[in-house]
């Protein structure tokens, strides 16, 4: 329980810090870079190294490559829907999570499993 609380606090703090950085910059296309910051990865890996060791973290990072490719597909689709078709942001970005899941697990099954 203590470990999860620590994960929650560190994760929340790191994600918020990168989000605040993103708020500060203009133009929006530059600020968007911070939307793909390695915030969850940093919070998770720092804790995981101490509990599970570096080989475990290397395996996680290998899968993260597939997750990052899926994030690229997700963000490209979101940009296209929002700029070209002016979909409501919350609906478009929430529904596209399904695209991220399909791409990430598809890549994992084909390439990493």
Looking only at residues 46 through 85 of this chain, which bind other proteins when binding is defined by CB under 8 A? 46-49, 52, 54-72, 74-76, 78-84
Within 7-46, the residues that bind other proteins by CB under 8 A are 7-16, 19-20, 22-46
Task: Say whether residue 106 binds other proteins (CB under 8 A).
Answer: no
Contacting other proteins (CB under 8 A), which of 2, 4, 98, 102? 4
| Size of residue set near other proteins by CB under 8 A | 87
Distance CA 85, CA 107 (A): 28
In the complex with other proteins, which residue's Cβ is closer, 89 or 110? 89
Q: Which residues have C-beta within 8 Å of that of residue 74, sequence separation ≥ 6? A: 96, 97, 99, 100, 103
Contacting other proteins (CB under 8 A), which of 2, 88, 98, 110? 88
First-to-last C-alpha distance (Å) of the chain:
30
Task: Say whether residue 2 binds other proteins (CB under 8 A).
Answer: no
In the complex with other proteins, which residue's Cβ is closer, 71 or 110? 71
Give burial (CB, 10 Å; 0-12/13-18/19+) of 68: middle
Judge if the upstream peptide bond of residue 27 is cis by omega within 30 degrees of 0.
yes
């Amino acid at each position: 329980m203590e470990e999860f609380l620590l994960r929650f606090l560190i994760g929340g703090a790191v994600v918020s810090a990168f989000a605040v950085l993103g708020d500060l910059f203009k133009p929006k296309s530059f600020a968007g870079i911070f939307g793909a910051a390695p915030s969850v990865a940093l919070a998770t890996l720092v804790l995981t190294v101490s509990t599970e060791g570096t080989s475990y973290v290397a395996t996680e990072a290998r899968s993260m490559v597939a997750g990052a490719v899926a994030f690229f597909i997700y963000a490209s689709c979101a940009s296209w829907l929002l700029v070209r078709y002016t979909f409501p942001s919350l609906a478009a970005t929430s529904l596209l999570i399904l695209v991220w899941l399909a791409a990430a697990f598809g890549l994992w099954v084909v390439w990493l499993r």
